[in-house]
Structure 1
Amino acid sequence: MNRLSPLLAALALAPVTLQASDIGWPDGTLFTAPFGPGGTWNLYKVVSTPMTWTEAQSAAERSVDPLGKTGKPGHLVCISGAAENMFVYQKVEGRWIWAGLTDSEKRGGKEAGSDRNGGWHWVTGEPYTFQLWRSSEPNEYHATGEDGVAVGHAGRWLDMSIGADGQMETKNPSMIEWETRSPGPVPGALKIEPVLPKKWAVDLSAWKGESIGEGAWTVMSTLDLDASSIWTVVQGLQEAMPAETTAYHIAWMNYRVEPPSKKTAGGWMEIPNNPRFPMQMGPCAALHVAKVKLDKPETWSVNVHCDDYVAIRFPGHKWKSASGLGGIDPLDAETIYQECGTGDGNVIGVIDLPAGESTVEVLLGSSQYDAMIQMLTAPGEHAMDGSTDQWRKPGHTAKGTVAWPGVSSKGWSVIRKNLPAGGKLMEKLMDGMALPESAPTVTAEGVEKINYIDSGAPSDIKFPNPVELPGDEPGGQDQFVVMAQAELVIPRDGTYQIGINSDNRCALRIADQKWKRTMRDQTYHVKIEGDTMHSEEPETMGMAGQFVGEIELKKGSYTIEAFYVNVKGPTVLSVFGALAGFPPRLLAKDGGRIEPDVSGLPLVKPVIVPAPER
């Protein structure tokens, strides 16, 4: 790899009776929600008028509690967790929404650059314990500086110019928060409600009526409802369920509603099929209910990818933790949910389940376009997609063995090239491929696996324990290229799904082997050219530039190459793969092997009364 490889050459929250707008509430709307210390209730106000960050914070500081509960001034909303983050995203209409987070030295912060962890300061001085940055953020994109933080698509954050201290005047709507810290809801404001009702209008766990289909999941769905929020979805479904005379049964929580040819960003594994029950392109919802049966008490992790809204509950059992884009309902610890509409919403929950039978409920709501859901489970506690390769669909029974791809005992050969002093800034893949041989270079041989970060500016980590990039220096670095090559080992003939995860422009090649198709594409712009997949558009929705291709491979060894160009901002890079139908693991040294399969969360198949022929 001392010269360009063939890969390079190949690329020349309110009561449900109230109605909101599509997303966001009218200017001046007051809410109360339990996001204060110890679950106390604070007061919030929607501010639709676009202002700079500096103007918005100054206006908030001049705004005394309008309900007269504290006499305290307000401040831009400070976000302590996933539920509060989703609340802000849903209640304020705007592409970006100012929050009270800054790295301005004049306001208590310290210049962070592209460091997600250091320098950031909430205007109240409260602990900075929660973060949800876009994949390539923060990045100090504008030369004059970006000292304010905004909540954007899917509830993810970015740094932007604050309109002061020589920075650009970027104007956004915002939300004001007052630290009322009331033991209960603040009178005079709209209080948020639990996401799911205490009881559904129809008890699907005891359904004895007519049914269509087979499988452990009993489903009811409805079309053409108000899908402006997860609460309106629940209300519409509750109203529609009593009139339904037939339920549906499905084997797997793994489907999508979209044209078959459309690329999908969602799901850690493939989501291949359309449901038989009524769902459509546009506003709709479905409730899925099943029973779990365990021989002994166990801890399980539940991993759900969705488009757009999802809520999961095991009635009578509280969640221990939640991660991803979603969180635990602050008013109902039995429910985790995700309501920030995106092509790949994701929430992972950990729960202790008792021996015997338990019920599980899964709500899916679609606000527009397509609907999608994938539910996977794994024994033990997990907080990210790549933290285990034991994710399986609930009800999956282990059968036989799984062939895992890996790389040879030589490991990976990695080259990092930095932009030469005075060189033209890179913007695209081809710019990186055109770096001269004289560019500052660092090499590494025998690398165990490709799971890299920039230690001073890590991006969206999908696999645990990433290591520093070759030649990593203190702080965040931009404008460099990574080229990695290894001998891919396939232990058995089969269909494999190989992918790459990065925050920027990347490509993947298996020499002289033709990709069948793109199986997953978070960039929405992947192109296949013979033995190479590549994408220039990694962050359409603020997610990492992850894509996965499907390929038929015989038992043996193949040359695999990965290519990555960092343009600006945080960095992550991983290369992974799996036998089709299984979750991936990193393509690791001595990793091509055959291992026993494992089972998913065991489900009980209900007694089904077939619907009469019509």
Structure 2
Amino acid sequence: MNRLLPLIATLVAAPASLHAAWPNGTFFTAPYGPGGTWNLYKTVDTTMTWTEAQSMAERSVDPLGKTGKPGHLVCIGSAAENMFVYQKVLGHYIWLGMSDNEKYGGKEAGSDRTKGWHWVTGEPVTFQAWRSMEPNEYLPTGEDAVAIESSGRWGDWAIGSDGQQMDFRNASMIEWETRSPGPVPGAERIRRVLPAKWRVDLSNNERNGPGDGPWTVMSVLGIQSFSIWTAVMDLQVRMSLLKDSTRRCQRVNYHVEYGISLAGGWTEVKDHPDFPMVKDTCAALHVAKVKLDKPGTWSINVHGDDYYAVRFPGHKWKSVSGLGGIDPLDPETMYFESESGDGNSIGVIDLPAGESTIEVLLVNRTADGMIQVLAAPGEHVLDGSTDQWRDPGHKAAGDLAWPGIGSKGWTVIRKDLPAGAKPMESLQDAMGLPASAPSVTAENVEKLNYIDSDGASDIKFSNPVEVPGDRPGAQDQFMVMAQAELVIPRDGLYQIGIYSDSKAALRIADQKWLRFVRDNTYKGKLEGDTIHVEDEDRNGNYGMLFGEVELKKGSYTIEALYVNLKSPCALSVFGAPAGYAPRLLAKDGGKIEPDIDGMPLVMPAAAK
């Protein structure tokens, strides 16, 4: 009998916490050491300050590997290791072995992500997963420690020593650098995410169940979704009992519950499956055949809630960006295993000419779920790296009318809070800044795609530039106003939006917004010709307001307003013909261009 099964049975029967977790004091071994060697880990759900947790770890000599090495707070080198820590420790927040405190090898970083942060082991910082507005050195006494927060993302915290607050106490994980060539005996070893072979082969084209389309789907309700691994084990057992229960669907782009209009995804998610998928625990395996005329590099863009995995059997991922990662025991599998309303990953893979199989697993753990799979030719690492994302199997629909900006570009004004003035708290405060406030004006700006040079934040579009008037060091309490001529090349429905880290508004003069396509802030407001949001927290996620508007061919005044209070900075304005991946609203960008086909899928003979 598998020695893990009794433990799994206990865990899946336990009440659900904020995320999956294992009992305090569980030892794990996993291949996250140099060159894929196996280190030893221990879960600690006793809450302590960062300094106390690191001190305890340093006093703990390797108990199983027999190396005699002291431990340390876990140091993370990949998205897979980050998800491993997040899933295994019972704690709302989890300390990491990272600091910008000089005592631990760091150097004061403030809100800079690229300088000063240091792993306690001295290993290079090759992976980071900051929340959108972190780090921010928010407390006046300093924040020299790092913890995993919601969705497996990071924030900086008070370290609990050197004058910094003592009342932040979190769970942690101890790591020992055993660097074993194989699993450390006596510890629970991690398993591969997907089985080498599914018990039911959905890749043949003979399973033509109800529905139509290139995807064959098998779904199971009431799945054991404590972790992606337990869900896969349960699915393997259940699918052999339900081997004739398959459906077909046109695309993997849906939300589980009806009426969830603001689900995640890079383009709008509006489908609902016609196969069994319900709120709370369920899973679905989707399989299709890709057929390419010639070999090439493709990028696969996945947004999901909660867990997902994507595999092209026989082909390894070249890279994965975003919140997901590559399975260290199976380089053919890209996956995400951290509860999130919009977990996102982009995998890059080389595919040969001819047929290849693609497998997409979705596991829904709590509340509503969703999945969106898009593909684009070439190598991309950001949602906004290309506007060529299409549903696999998409057929070009003639030509597309792209919104853009007129030949004068954007006029951008940045205003800083005058010395001695009351700090801004709202969009209205920003609009009320006096004409005498320190300001900088930039004209003939090609596109709005800004970032603070010393307060890096999440970005969605490639090559952001510094905000006009940017100075060395992170800056707070400023506003950005931008205005341009919006050019619409043809009558139709358009989806236009603004991306930011703080308070923001977007207005198309005298044109009424119809609805939100996406509102990542969950607090956006749509009022006449303006969409706006006053919330700057957003649960640590980036803020996107993406609205739909019907416009006639012609020109319109478009205005954007952004207010930075105390955080890193990012600002972009973008648009698309309704239903397509957006591009930045750029100078001379209002054009009609041909649509393109998506990644070609094989349509089963019975469904053609």
8 Å CA contact 1:209–1:246 kept in 2: the answer is no
8 Å CA contact 2:208–2:248 kept in 1: the answer is no
* 1:278-317 to 2 correspondences below 5 Å: 278-317=276-315
RMSD: 1.4
What secondary structure sits across from 1:547 in the alignment?
strand
Question: Which residue is 2:41 aligned to?
Answer: 44
| Counterpart amino acid of residue 256 in structure 2 | V
Q: CA deviation at 1:258?
A: 2.1
Report the Cα distance in structure 1 between the residues aligned to 2:271 and 2:536, rounded to whole angstroms. Answer: 26
Question: Which residue is 2:583 aligned to?
Answer: 585
Report the Cα distance in structure 1 between the residues aligned to 2:308 and 2:27, rounded to whole angstroms. Answer: 26
Report the Cα distance in structure 2 between the residues aligned to 1:115 and 1:235, rounded to whole angstroms. Answer: 42
With normalisation by structure 2, the TM-score equals 0.96
2:122 corresponds to 1:122 = no
| Counterpart amino acid of residue 255 in structure 1 | Y
What secondary structure sits across from 2:346 in the alignment?
strand
Report the Cα distance in structure 2 between the residues aligned to 1:237 and 1:295, rounded to whole angstroms. Answer: 34
Q: CA deviation at 1:520?
A: 0.5
| Counterpart amino acid of residue 327 in structure 1 | G
Q: CA deviation at 1:429?
A: 2.2
Q: CA deviation at 1:195?
A: 0.3
| Counterpart amino acid of residue 227 in structure 2 | S
| Counterpart amino acid of residue 254 in structure 1 | N
Decide whether aligned partners of structure 1 residues 87 and 94 sit closer, same or farther in structure 2, where only a CA change above 3 A counts. same
Question: Which residue is 1:69 aligned to?
Answer: 66
8 Å CA contact 1:537–1:545 kept in 2: the answer is no
Q: CA deviation at 1:426?
A: 2.1
Q: CA deviation at 1:227?
A: 1.1
Report the Cα distance in structure 1 between the residues aligned to 2:557 and 2:93, rounded to whole angstroms. Answer: 43
Question: Which residue is 1:482 aligned to?
Answer: 480
Q: CA deviation at 1:539?
A: 3.9
Report the Cα distance in structure 2 between the residues aligned to 1:112 and 1:354, rounded to whole angstroms. Answer: 45
Decide whether aligned partners of structure 1 residues 346 and 576 sit closer, same or farther in structure 2, where only a CA change above 3 A counts. same
Question: CA offsets per residue over residues 127-173 of structure 1, 9 Å max, x none?
Answer: 01111110110000100000000011111110000110111121000
| Counterpart amino acid of residue 118 in structure 1 | K
Question: Which residue is 2:409 aligned to?
Answer: 411
Decide whether aligned partners of structure 1 residues 210 and 466 sit closer, same or farther in structure 2, where only a CA change above 3 A counts. closer
Question: Which residue is 1:575 aligned to?
Answer: 573
Question: Which residue is 2:256 aligned to?
Answer: 257
8 Å CA contact 1:493–1:553 kept in 2: the answer is yes
What secondary structure sits across from 2:210 in the alignment?
strand
Question: Which residue is 1:99 aligned to?
Answer: 96
8 Å CA contact 1:318–1:333 kept in 2: the answer is yes
Report the Cα distance in structure 1 between the residues aligned to 2:542 and 2:6, rounded to whole angstroms. Answer: 37
Question: Which residue is 1:8 aligned to?
Answer: none
Question: Which residue is 2:141 aligned to?
Answer: 144
Q: CA deviation at 1:232?
A: 1.4
* 1:171-210 to 2 correspondences below 5 Å: 171-206=169-204, 208-209=206-207
Question: Which residue is 1:518 aligned to?
Answer: 516
Decide whether aligned partners of structure 1 residues 211 and 538 sit closer, same or farther in structure 2, where only a CA change above 3 A counts. farther
| Counterpart amino acid of residue 195 in structure 1 | V
Report the Cα distance in structure 2 between the residues aligned to 1:115 and 1:17, rounded to whole angstroms. Answer: 45
What secondary structure sits across from 2:347 in the alignment?
strand
Q: CA deviation at 1:319?
A: 0.5
One of 346, 350, 353 as aligned partner of 1:352 = 350
8 Å CA contact 1:209–1:609 kept in 2: the answer is no
Report the Cα distance in structure 2 between the residues aligned to 1:527 and 1:206, rounded to whole angstroms. Answer: 48
Question: Which residue is 1:5 aligned to?
Answer: none
| Counterpart amino acid of residue 256 in structure 1 | H
* 1:416-565 to 2 correspondences below 5 Å: 416-565=414-563
Decide whether aligned partners of structure 1 residues 210 and 265 sit closer, same or farther in structure 2, where only a CA change above 3 A counts. closer
Report the Cα distance in structure 1 between the residues aligned to 2:487 and 2:255, rounded to whole angstroms. Answer: 32
Report the Cα distance in structure 1 between the residues aligned to 2:452 and 2:239, rounded to whole angstroms. Answer: 51
Question: CA offsets per residue over residues 486-522 of structure 1, 9 Å max, x none?
Answer: 1100111111000111111111111100101000011
One of 29, 33, 51 as aligned partner of 1:32 = 29
Report the Cα distance in structure 2 between the residues aligned to 1:18 and 1:416, rounded to whole angstroms. Answer: 57
Which deviates more, 84-93 or 199-208? 199-208
8 Å CA contact 1:44–1:176 kept in 2: the answer is yes
Question: Which residue is 1:131 aligned to?
Answer: 128
What secondary structure sits across from 1:55 in the alignment?
helix
Which deviates more, 433-442 or 149-158? 433-442
Q: CA deviation at 1:206?
A: 1.7
Q: CA deviation at 1:240?
A: 1.2
8 Å CA contact 1:27–1:48 kept in 2: the answer is yes
| Counterpart amino acid of residue 274 in structure 1 | H
What secondary structure sits across from 2:233 in the alignment?
helix
What secondary structure sits across from 1:546 in the alignment?
strand
Q: CA deviation at 1:15?
A: 5.5
Q: CA deviation at 1:433?
A: 2.2
Report the Cα distance in structure 1 between the residues aligned to 2:194 and 2:66, rounded to whole angstroms. Answer: 30
What secondary structure sits across from 1:205 in the alignment?
coil
One of 378, 381, 386 as aligned partner of 1:380 = 378
Q: CA deviation at 1:68?
A: 4.5
Q: Which runs of 5+ in 2 are unaligned?
A: none
Which deviates more, 187-196 or 199-208? 199-208
Report the Cα distance in structure 2 between the residues aligned to 1:42 and 1:158, rounded to whole angstroms. Answer: 25
Report the Cα distance in structure 1 between the residues aligned to 2:387 and 2:404, rounded to whole angstroms. Answer: 13
Q: CA deviation at 1:265?
A: 4.3
8 Å CA contact 1:16–1:235 kept in 2: the answer is no
Q: CA deviation at 1:259?
A: 3.6
Report the Cα distance in structure 1 between the residues aligned to 2:115 and 2:508, rounded to whole angstroms. Answer: 39
| Counterpart amino acid of residue 409 in structure 1 | S
Question: CA offsets per residue over residues 541-580 of structure 1, 9 Å max, x none?
Answer: 3211111001111111111111111111211100000001
What secondary structure sits across from 2:538 in the alignment?
coil
Report the Cα distance in structure 1 between the residues aligned to 2:209 and 2:537, rounded to whole angstroms. Answer: 42
Report the Cα distance in structure 2 between the residues aligned to 1:365 and 1:461, rounded to whole angstroms. Answer: 27
Question: Which residue is 1:402 aligned to?
Answer: 400
Question: Which residue is 1:337 aligned to?
Answer: 335
Which deviates more, 235-244 or 373-382? 235-244
| Counterpart amino acid of residue 431 in structure 1 | D
What secondary structure sits across from 2:195 in the alignment?
coil
Question: CA offsets per residue over residues 214-265 of structure 1, 9 Å max, x none?
Answer: 00000000011221111111112111111222210001111111241x4424
Q: CA deviation at 1:296?
A: 1.1
| Counterpart amino acid of residue 56 in structure 2 | A
What secondary structure sits across from 1:517 in the alignment?
strand
- Paired-residue identity, %: 67
With normalisation by structure 1, the TM-score equals 0.95
8 Å CA contact 1:15–1:192 kept in 2: the answer is no
Report the Cα distance in structure 1 between the residues aligned to 2:607 and 2:552, rounded to whole angstroms. Answer: 45
Q: CA deviation at 1:439?
A: 1.4
Q: CA deviation at 1:360?
A: 0.4
One of 159, 167, 170 as aligned partner of 2:156 = 159
What secondary structure sits across from 2:484 in the alignment?
strand
What secondary structure sits across from 1:88 in the alignment?
helix
Question: Which residue is 1:111 aligned to?
Answer: 108
Question: Which residue is 1:82 aligned to?
Answer: 79
Q: CA deviation at 1:76?
A: 0.4
2:165 corresponds to 1:168 = yes
8 Å CA contact 1:224–1:283 kept in 2: the answer is yes
Question: Which residue is 1:4 aligned to?
Answer: none
Decide whether aligned partners of structure 1 residues 352 and 228 sit closer, same or farther in structure 2, where only a CA change above 3 A counts. same
Decide whether aligned partners of structure 1 residues 16 and 519 sit closer, same or farther in structure 2, where only a CA change above 3 A counts. farther
Kindly tell me the number of residue pairs found equivalent between the two proteins: 596
Q: CA deviation at 1:17?
A: 6.6
Report the Cα distance in structure 1 between the residues aligned to 2:40 and 2:433, rounded to whole angstroms. Answer: 54
8 Å CA contact 2:183–2:189 kept in 1: the answer is yes
Report the Cα distance in structure 2 between the residues aligned to 1:72 and 1:273, rounded to whole angstroms. Answer: 53
| Counterpart amino acid of residue 253 in structure 2 | N
